[in-house]
Structure 1
């Protein structure tokens, strides 16, 4: 999802510049850096929580005719 967001961000900025809009590169770099930092925090938070796996019940047996 993060890679798709980067591609969309870069694609939109290229299209906008092609149409004559000037987008400061600092905005794009900040958005990318913020997304990477947020993902890094998400990965670190996920590695600390070690939840137990879900225990499933045994499958039901078919009624014999």
Structure 2
């Protein structure tokens, strides 16, 4: 369930990453697209995995 939410919300985080990278670094558009395409879902999945690990490993 956490992974599903993470991937569903990746569309939102993709736009946030794009906005932040363009404001901070001002790279070329194709470079932004390549980086943001990966950050949009890998960052969310990393956070979801950390949540799963720390919440559910303490219950055992």
What's the TM-score bracket when you normalise by the shorter of the two chains?
Answer: 0.3 to 0.5
Between the two structures, name the one with larger relative contact order (CA 8 Å, sep ≥ 6).
2
Bigger proportion of residues as helix: 2
Question: Normalising by structure 1, what TM-score?
Answer: 0.44
TM-score (norm 2): 0.47
